Chains A and B, each alone.
Chain A
């Protein structure tokens, strides 16, 4: 390490109280920023759980639909029309709706029911128990083993329940790659059984799931669907639409933004103030260095190094703390809605850079202003 930077490093870290305060301030701010943005990312990810788990390339829906959880039924002709479009390899219906199941102990539990196309079972989950073909058996349902599984009294293959006075039998236990957002269990069955068991409005197709012949056909399919008065979105587009809905139309995004700004202000105020105090306490010594023969740019370099070193160390600690806490939370709650994304990491890093620049700006200004003559004058 360059001697002058090592000098700056020693001046910084040997002042243990201030260095600790600086690290705590920045680490805490990074932790808060990371945590809220990770929670937000987790929530957005969970909000698209159905889209992720079903995995269709293109989703056809009513234009008013914002999320997979709130579908608007489409008439059967939409399915037929889509199937007949050039570029469509195949298209299948998906039922998505809510229902109440009566458990063996007599209590009721809300569930999400996904009805898969009877012929293809397109979008079927991966089973950990049972066989998927048993979904065709009388009253057959597959239960997703996620964090909400226990709300159905931890059913096993063969367990029974009632759904709208219809008997239901668990024929398989599935794992889901992404858990849902609303804290209710998910059941899979066939499309026909779903619309038979659950009271429905006139139109029953929630979504038409489409597989294009080639990626190049997607644009064409979307245009043709649009002429029908419906909307076709790719998986990524539907996820973004869902994210946008929760971000901009539910207040979640605003709250997260406010929390992030508060975290930033906390981190900035703690670290800028502590760093400035650190500079003030050493101001005479910086003046002495200037008198001895340190150039102004070397002093600026020392301060920037101190600020950057503190910021990066605090950033690492904050990210580490956040990762540990989220990991611990996920050990207890597997579907805990928080995920650290590159965006969260980048956002926190940019915030830390801003904190560094602002903190060091005031210090640099003060040090550049000090006259070595003031040191002689006392």
Chain B
């Protein structure tokens, strides 16, 4: 099936050994296709973030296989995997993780700079993406001068500037008020999601469920339910 973006089978992940062993993922199977916005929801400690990390090539599972666009990512070496993430996957972190000592445009340009693109061209490109996320004219401001919602938009612009096929968002509304969170997800749904892109979101926030294509429920390291939605 050519439109499968991520396919994971038999994922198991545990931390520690012996009495300290904690199992985060128990035989998880997962699939996401291009053009959909998949939510992974569940209580704290259910394994959502672990699953997201395993799917995005950040945390190696103890067993199981993850294929992104047909590539078995955990068979790649560290450098190949880093390169793969840089080119194929965009990340929006819960706390944004913007560099306070860089201005907004420089923060957004980071993925292009890491791809060895010329600095000035990267900054120009970043300005375009800032315009897309509605932050035109804020290029030279440091992130601390922006509101939480604006910082989230900067983080989205940074994730998108490399035009990744997969966008990973970890608790994208956790640091935002309800209205801002909704407007951000609406923006993502309307402007970022397209038929060539797959977005995987981990969230607790039921107020943004309306934008999901599918909602996968997790509990105790297992996917316990799937809710198909008509978003």
**What is A's interface to B at a CB cutoff of 8 Å?**
1-4, 6-7, 10-11, 14-15, 282, 284-285, 287-296, 298, 371-373, 375-378
A-B contact count (CB 8 A): 90
Which applies to chain A's interface (DSSP): helix, strand, loop or mixed?
helix
How far in angstroms is the closest Cβ of chain A from B59? 4
B213 within 8 A of A: no
B122 within 8 A of A: yes
Assuming the contacts A10-B102, A373-B53, asked whether A292 and B119 have C-beta atoms less than 8 A apart, the reply is no
**For B122, what are the chain A residues with a Cβ–Cβ distance below 8 Å?**
3
A376 touches B111 (CB 8 A): no
How far in angstroms is the closest Cβ of chain A from B217? 19
Which applies to chain B's interface (DSSP): helix, strand, loop or mixed?
helix
Please name the residue on chain B nearest to A284 by beta carbon: B97
A376 touches B52 (CB 8 A): yes
**For A291, what are the chain B residues with a Cβ–Cβ distance below 8 Å?**
56, 58, 85, 91, 93
Segment among B3-11, B64-72, B76-84, B193-201 that sits at the interface with chain A: B76-84
Q: Which listed residue (A1, A295, A375) contacts B97, Cβ 8 A?
A: A375
From residue 173 to 209 of chain B, which have CB atoms closer than 8 A to chain A? none
B118 touches A292 (CB 8 A): no
B86 within 8 A of A: yes
**What is B's interface to A at a CB cutoff of 8 Å?**
49-50, 52-53, 56, 58-59, 78-79, 82-87, 89, 91, 93-95, 97, 99, 101-102, 106, 110-111, 113-114, 116-119, 122, 170
A376 touches B117 (CB 8 A): no
A292 touches B85 (CB 8 A): yes
Q: Which listed residue (B50, B97, B114) contacts A293, Cβ 8 A?
A: B114
How far in angstroms is the closest Cβ of chain B from A11? 5
**For A292, what are the chain B residues with a Cβ–Cβ distance below 8 Å?**
85-86, 91, 110-111, 114
Assuming the contacts A10-B102, A15-B101, A376-B52, asked whether A295 and B113 have C-beta atoms less than 8 A apart, the reply is no
- Would you mind naming 23 contact pairs between A and B with Cβ atoms under 8 Å apart? A3-B119, A4-B116, A10-B101, A10-B102, A10-B106, A14-B101, A282-B99, A285-B97, A288-B91, A291-B85, A291-B93, A292-B110, A293-B84, A293-B86, A293-B89, A293-B114, A294-B86, A298-B114, A372-B59, A373-B58, A373-B59, A376-B52, A376-B58
